[in-house]
Amino acid sequence: MPLRENRQVRLVARPRGIPQAEHFSLVTEPVAAVGKGEILIQNRYLSVDPAQRGWANDEGNYSAPVPLNTPMRALAVGEILESNAPEFRAGEFVYGWFGWQTHCVAAPDAVLRRVQPSALPLSANLSLLGINGLTAYLAFHGLGDPKPGEHVLVSTAAGSVGSFVGQLAHIAGCRAVGLTGSAEKAALAQARYGYQAMINYRDSTDLPAVIREACPEGNDIFFDNTGGAIADAAIRTMRLHGRIIQCGTAANASWTPVPTGPRAEREILTRRLRWSGFIIFDHIAEFEAAATRLTEFALDGKIVHDEEILPGLEHAPGAIAQLYRGDNHGKLIVAVD
Ligand SMILES: NC(=O)c1ccc[n+]([C@@H]2O[C@H](COP(=O)([O-])OP(=O)(O)OC[C@H]3O[C@@H](n4cnc5c(N)ncnc54)[C@H](OP(=O)(O)O)[C@@H]3O)[C@@H](O)[C@H]2O)c1
């Protein structure tokens, strides 16, 4: 049998701040032999995630950065071609840590979920049923504790996670207001993602006043994906006993030196707020139940999932920077073929 080729996108230089195309290189090598207990996966779709900034550089991390000259750490969905592990068989589709490459030889613990057959496209396993939809569902319900009639504010509302939070808030009977960086994305989020009002934060000279105006009754839940100036203003709109979910920090391009801003502790104290950090990988045991619920919502027409699919592995190197420019329309995915 001819040797199979593995095309990889390797991290070749350590970025400061946001990784750019020049920090990566495309390399071809033979697919590694499948050892005892291992599986060989052929990737079909690769995920592009804001968290890859923190996996590529070594600032503000909670895990070790990707070693140089190795495939970029990434979630992917693919088909098992060979299995030497008793719990998997060839032909199954799986979602997990398979990297930015065409093929991956992995131990079974690299798999986060088996793809369940449904009418949804395979790529939905990286968006609605990947960490974006799962984060929206598990963080919003687990930490937000939403009740009908409550007021919800969401940053990066037109992005992948934000699009699902708006729709889940709507399903929960809440009034959701979102923030995004363009008029076009604001209109999209209001039309498709359950938001009753949207704020274009790039278009505002007095963000605190604009947020107060859009949320005249204050907010019970702030689902924050940016931190920075948006969070500084949003915290001051929280109602008594409000819940802040710290899900991302997209507004801070670098943690060296540590950014500074207005102090929040007086707001936390006087408004009796609960401010919780959320990391999706603490919740792997809940993935299957959440994915089942999200699939039902999608098949019942209650949730839409928008994806922007880049055609080919060669588009991966520039994709993280594209995400941070806000140029993505829905979940950014790279198709391998
Ligand atoms: N905690 C977890 O376990 C977990 C899991 C998944 C995702 N997340 C976080 O959730 C957030 C959204 O992730 P996603 O995958 O759905 O990406 P996304 O929202 O589809 O894309 C990222 C968005 O961030 C916004 N952005 C970029 N730079 C910004 C800045 N300086 N200020 C404000 N907004 C900026 C852009 O939207 P605009 O055009 O609207 O600015 C961009 O489209 C990220 O912060 C990510 O790290 C966290």
What are the 10-residue block averages of pLDDT along the chain, 337 residues in total? 86 93 97 97 97 86 86 98 98 98 98 95 98 98 98 97 98 98 97 98 94 97 97 97 97 85 96 98 97 98 98 98 93 95
Q: State the distance from the centre of ligand 1 to the C-alpha of 164, rounded, in angstroms.
A: 12
Cβ atoms of 75 and 94 within 8 Å: the answer is: no
* pLDDT value at residue 53: 92
Q: Tokens standing for 308? A: 């922007």
Nearest CA to ligand 1 atom 31: 251
* pLDDT value at residue 288: 96
Q: State the distance from the centre of ligand 1 to the C-alpha of 320, rounded, in angstroms.
A: 11
Distance CA 227, CA 294 (A): 27
Q: Tokens standing for 261? A: 């801003």
Pocket test for ligand 1, best of 57, 156, 198, 245 (most atoms within 8 A of CB): 156
User: Which residues have any ligand 1 atom within 6 Å of their CB?
Assistant: 49-51, 131-132, 135, 156, 158-162, 180-182, 185, 225-226, 247-248, 250-251, 278-280, 323-324, 326, 328
Q: State the distance from the centre of ligand 1 to the C-alpha of 323, rounded, in angstroms.
A: 8
Select from 129, 23, 108 the least CA-distant residue to 66. 23
* pLDDT value at residue 254: 79
Q: State the distance from the centre of ligand 1 to the C-alpha of 90, rounded, in angstroms.
A: 35
* pLDDT value at residue 60: 65
Cβ atoms of 198 and 189 within 8 Å: the answer is: yes
* pLDDT value at residue 3: 73
Alpha-carbon torsion 263, 265, 266, 272, what sign? positive
289 exposure class (CB count in 10 Å sphere: 0-12, 13-18, 19+): exposed
pLDDT one-digit tens code per residue, 312-325: 999 999 999 999 99
Q: State the distance from the centre of ligand 1 to the C-alpha of 36, rounded, in angstroms.
A: 39
Q: State the distance from the centre of ligand 1 to the C-alpha of 56, rounded, in angstroms.
A: 16
Amino acid letter for position 166:
G
- Site of tokens 């995630």: 49
Q: State the pTM of this model.
A: 0.96
pLDDT one-digit tens code per residue, 8-67: 999 999 998 899 999 999 999 999 999 999 999 999 999 999 999 999 987 766 678 999
